[in-house]
Amino acid sequence: MKTADFDYELPPHLIAQDPIEPRDSSRLMVLRRDDGSITHAKFHQLGDFLRSGDLLVCNDTRVIPARLFGHKVPTGGKVELLLTVKREETLWEALIRGRRVPLGGLVAEVGERTASGGRLVRFQAPVEPFLETLGAVPLPPYIHKRLEDPQRYQTVYADKNGSAAAPTAGLHFTPRQMATLEDGGIEFAFLTLHIGVDTFLPIREEEAEHHLMHSEYCVVSRETAQAVNEASAGGRRVVAAGTTAVRALETAARHDPGTGTDVLAPYEGWTDLFVYPGYRFQVVDCLITNFHLPRSTLLLLVAAFAGKGLLDRAYREAIKAEYRFYSFGDAMLLL
């Protein structure tokens, strides 16, 4: 499977630089996999395409102020450190240059390289208490404008600190819309997958299957596993809000399968699940997602779910209709 087959040309002006207001006024492209049809709508109309009894599973991770600034030792030159993945209480993977970096009360001791090209960084104490005063919320490298309100890069249900990037499919939801969906019989369940910045990196291998997938920490609680199993047993659809929710659910099903009619049991641990065309989904029936970068693992996951032919056609139509792309962009619903 050639990585080049998942490339496409995007006019730069279609890369969304600002979040839209209100959140649910973004556009929504609806793809039906059974007949290949494409419908154009608004995200606040999501309930028109869901059914009473559907279970909507969302990632409640919260983006931390993972972008830190300090000075190199002994030169004193300015340096930026971006926390990506927490490995132990005081050990993180990070993007950084330098060997020893003071960070206003903390010192980052920079160690060996990681498989993704970052570094292991050891702090002398847990870094979390310092983040609110020392850190800034990181934005993806393709967003060049300053974000006036950092909360707009959080979902309205963000709860568990730990991500270096937002689960962008969830950025479209508002509390009012969620209440309306619940009134219409849609159930919500939450899981956690802490997103690293590797999610933005393109696949560099010529053959996509050879890509080394990064690891991220996820938690599928007992309550969420039960809700998924009850929906599946009752013939109701499991709708994943975002590719991270897909990876967490499918990881739970693969690593810790349920028993009897259950499709999964609770799971907590690391996942390096790489989903690309040919993957057989075990849990997810429908998917809400944004429009993703070319050659990205996210794009391959959506291609695996939609079918590459339908997805290629959808992206061509989205570009022609000038949908907004990437993190602050518009959404897609795959049924």
Q: Is 80 exceeded by the pLDDT of residue 292?
A: yes
Kindly report the average pLDDT of the chain as a whole number: 93
Min mean pLDDT across 35-44, 201-210, 277-286 is at: 201-210
Per-residue model confidence as pLDDT tens digits over 294-315:
999 999 999 999 999 999 999 9
Which pLDDT band holds residue 132 (cuts at 50, 70, 90)? confident
Q: Is 80 exceeded by the pLDDT of residue 180?
A: yes
Listed in sequence order, the residues at least 6 apart from 298 whose beta carbon sits closer than 8 Å to its beta carbon are 199, 243, 289, 292
Per-residue model confidence as pLDDT tens digits over 256-288:
777 777 899 999 999 999 999 999 999 999 999
Q: Residue 25: phi, psi to the nearest 5?
A: -90, 0
Listed in sequence order, the residues at least 6 apart from 27 whose beta carbon sits closer than 8 Å to its beta carbon are 40, 41, 42, 43, 323, 324, 330, 331
Q: Is 90 exceeded by the pLDDT of residue 134?
A: no
Task: Name the more confident of 287 and 141.
Answer: 287
Contact between 252 and 220 (Cβ < 8 Å): yes
Q: What span, in angstroms and rounded, lies between the C-alpha atoms of 165 and 194? A: 8
User: Which pLDDT belongs to residue 260?
Assistant: 77
User: Which pLDDT belongs to residue 116?
Assistant: 73
Q: Is the peptide bond before 11 cis (omega within 30 degrees of 0)?
A: no
**Residue 281 CA: distances (Å) to CA of 110, 116, 252, 287, 314:** 39, 26, 12, 12, 21
Task: Name the more confident of 201 and 120.
Answer: 120
Which pLDDT band holds residue 105 (cuts at 50, 70, 90)? confident
CB atoms within 10 A of CB 317: 14
Per-residue model confidence as pLDDT tens digits over 219-268:
999 999 999 999 999 999 999 999 999 999 999 998 877 777 789 999 99
User: Which pLDDT belongs to residue 255?
Assistant: 82
Min mean pLDDT across 96-105, 123-132, 229-238, 322-331 is at: 96-105
User: Which pLDDT belongs to residue 305?
Assistant: 98
- Which domains are present in the chain? 3-63+148-334 (3.40.1780.10), 67-136 (2.40.10.240)
pTM greater than the 0.85 cutoff: yes
Q: What is the mean pLDDT of residues 176-197?
A: 96
